[in-house]
Amino acid sequence: MLMENLGAHKVNGVRQAIEAMGACVVYLPAYSPDFKPIEL
């Protein structure tokens, strides 16, 4: 499961519940305008 770095996604038990269903958790990297050419 791909998730943002939102605090609500890192609450105790969320990762364990997802992994208990057989999925893995991958967090998106922090936002950086350096990686978005349109932001320039």
Each residue's pLDDT tens digit, 1-40: 888 888 888 888 988 999 999 999 888 887 777 766 776 6
pLDDT at 27: 87
The pLDDT assigned to 31 comes to 75
> What is the predicted pLDDT for the residue at 1?
80
Write down the pLDDT at residue 28.
Answer: 84
Residue 30: the pLDDT is 78
Tell me which residue of 33, 25, 35 sits closest to 4, measured CA to CA: 25
Model pLDDT, residue 19:
93
Residue 4: which residues within 8 A CB-CB, separation 6 or more? Answer: 27, 28
